[in-house]
Amino acid sequence: MTLARTDLGITRIGGREFRWGERTYVMGIVNVTPDSFSGDGLGGNVEAVLSQARRFVADGVDIIDVGGESTRPGHTAVAEDEELRRVIPVVERLARDVHVPISIDTYKSGVARRAVEAGAFLINDVWGLKRDPAIARVAAEAHVPLVLMHNHDGTSYADLVPDVIASLRHSLEQAQAAGVPWEDLIVDPGIGFGKTVEHNLEVMRRLGEMRCLGRPMLLGTSRKSIIGLVLGLPVDQRVEGTAATVALGIAQGVDIVRVHDVREMVRVCRMSDAIVRGWQRLPTTT
């Protein structure tokens, strides 16, 4: 089985070419929050962030995603000034000292703009332009790609997967109208956002249907409550569950996985890619 999706073209992120369909790319999560659901929030400790980012690079990460506001259920919203205080020093330092593209995880256009000025090359909007449509204009003016995630107030749907697809299609249309090129858009079905456990499982089963949108797909399941509830495990014991979702996502055409455990998930991606996309033998050393 091969899912080479050459029709998706190439997206440039921070000077690097992401050739969709050739392999699965890994986005490493850097939380600069005091209340991350996964317990890995590093707060304002820039040196600790740099150490984590360097470890991610050594483990094979392709993008580092910096977030300054927790998105866990029941989280407290963060004012823009506070979010800027948390993320801008980190983005500046990583952009200077780490040689992989930096992404900013935010739904606020002011934070996105400042982060891009500080060295971020990708904007990851967890509200898919629903909270602050001006983020699309920021991406267009800065010539950086934009991730549009499905999110939803409440958990009520007329028809779950078609509703998610329609919402993402609307976000794509908004972004294009604001001037973001088609090749600079990425979609995310939003596992864990505005969905029950049953909804999340159904979306995971039907990820392949999202390919109708014609854009690369990012999947973020790492350590999430869907895994904890299914397996009855705390956050720090969800690596295997995450690995299962990553592998099954790749089998349905996922192009990027957003993860906490970079080393382990890079290995899962390589093995899954060898089966799904075709095996490229690594060069031998002498």
Q: Where are the domains of the chain?
A: 6-276
Q: Strand pairing partners for 217?
A: 187
pLDDT at 6: 56
Q: Which of 23, 113, 130, 224 is catalytic?
A: 224
Pseudo-torsion of CA 281, 249, 227, 192, nearest 10°?
140
pLDDT at 4: 47
d(CA 149, CA 107) in angstroms, rounded, equals 10
Task: Identify whether the C-beta of residue 265 lies closer than 8 Å to the C-beta of residue 247.
Answer: no
Q: Which of 258, 263, 267, 281 is catalytic?
A: 258
pLDDT at 40: 52
- Please calculate the CA angle 81-31-218 and round it to the nearest 5 degrees: 110
pLDDT at 249: 98
pLDDT at 33: 85
Task: Identify whether the C-beta of residue 26 lies closer than 8 Å to the C-beta of residue 61.
Answer: yes
What 3-state class would DSSP assign to 239?
Answer: helix
Instruction: Please name the CATH architecture into which domain 6-276 falls.
Output: Alpha-Beta Barrel (3.20)
Task: Determine whether 114 is an active site residue.
Answer: no
Task: Identify whether the C-beta of residue 227 lies closer than 8 Å to the C-beta of residue 241.
Answer: yes
pLDDT in 10s for each residue of the chain, 286 residues: 445 455 899 999 999 999 999 999 999 999 998 755 444 556 668 999 999 999 999 999 999 999 999 776 556 789 999 999 999 999 999 999 999 999 999 999 999 999 999 999 999 999 999 999 999 999 999 999 999 999 999 999 999 999 999 999 999 999 999 999 999 999 999 999 999 999 999 999 999 999 999 999 999 999 999 999 999 999 999 999 999 999 999 999 999 999 999 999 999 999 999 999 988 776 665 4
Does the pTM surpass 0.75? The reply is yes
pLDDT at 275: 96
Counting Cβ atoms within 10 Å, is residue 264 exposed (0-12), middle (13-18) or buried (19+)? Answer: middle
Task: Determine whether 55 is an active site residue.
Answer: no
d(CA 243, CA 85) in angstroms, rounded, equals 33
pLDDT at 234: 95
